[in-house]
Chains A and B, each alone.
Chain A
Amino acid sequence: QQPVQSPQAVILREGEDAVINCSSSKALYSVHWYRQKHGEAPVFLMILLKGGEQKGHDKISASFNEKKQQSSLYLTASQLSYSGTYFCGTGDNYGQNFVFGPGTRLSVLP
């Protein structure tokens, strides 16, 4: 089952903040976040693991609530380059059968 993401789309001005949420009806063992620009492949941003370990981008932060099976991606002081579609992804307890949420389209305007 795919994770659920909210909101579907966000429009920001440069310098504003945004939060993108990801939730699952099944247990989350790890959560990945990726960004995809139009016509390109998805690019890795961050991994969050059970127990609080994080790997990834030093200018983007995220949280992982294992009990609520939710993760949130925090984009602060957004830049034009942050525009794109953000996907969360998760797999089973070994990271197999890795599926993605439907995506959140972020547009940052000057």
Chain B
Amino acid sequence: NAGVTQTPKFQVLKTGQSMTLQCAQDMNHEYMSWYRQDPGMGLRLIHYSVGAGITDQGEVPNGYNVSRSTTEDFPLRLLSAAPSQTSVYFCASSYSDFGGAYNSPLHFGNGTRLTVT
């Protein structure tokens, strides 16, 4: 039982490059979300999804795209990387009675550390 798997663990990009951060879960969770965490700061919500085909914006969506074609996968795309996107990115998922993480814990992946130069 792998839980939430994020790849890659580390990535260095040049400004303007694009890339996709992968997130997969094997717990059949409907609710999935992406967070970024900057040094000394909390977790800020980028995008979330309540099921396949349904996504919505969080607190800091600019510069990021997501899609949810299957229950298992929720990739995060950076179309044109900027130094301000240097951060640690966490993917999380939750079992959902009501569409979100109301009464079930969020399970986090181990994170992707991204540096944009």
Of the listed stretches B18-26, B42-50, B64-72, B75-83, chain A binds B42-50
Q: Tell me the minimal C-beta distance from A6 to chain B in angstroms.
A: 13
Pick from A56, A89, A92, A102: contact of B106, CB under 8 Å: A89
Q: Which residues of chain B are within 8 angstroms of A102 by Cβ–Cβ distance?
A: 41-42
B-contacting residues, A28-56, CB 8 Å: 29-30, 32, 34, 40-44, 47, 49, 55-56
B48 CB to closest chain A CB, in angstroms?
6
Question: A92: which B residues are within 8 A, CB to CB?
Answer: 100
Report if A96-B48 is in contact (Cβ < 8 Å); known contacts: A41-B110, A102-B41.
yes
Which residues of B approach A to under 8 Å, CB–CB? 31, 33, 35, 41-45, 48, 50, 56, 58-59, 90, 94, 96, 98-111
Binding site for B on A (CB under 8 A): 2, 29-30, 32, 34, 40-44, 47, 49, 55-56, 87, 89, 91-103
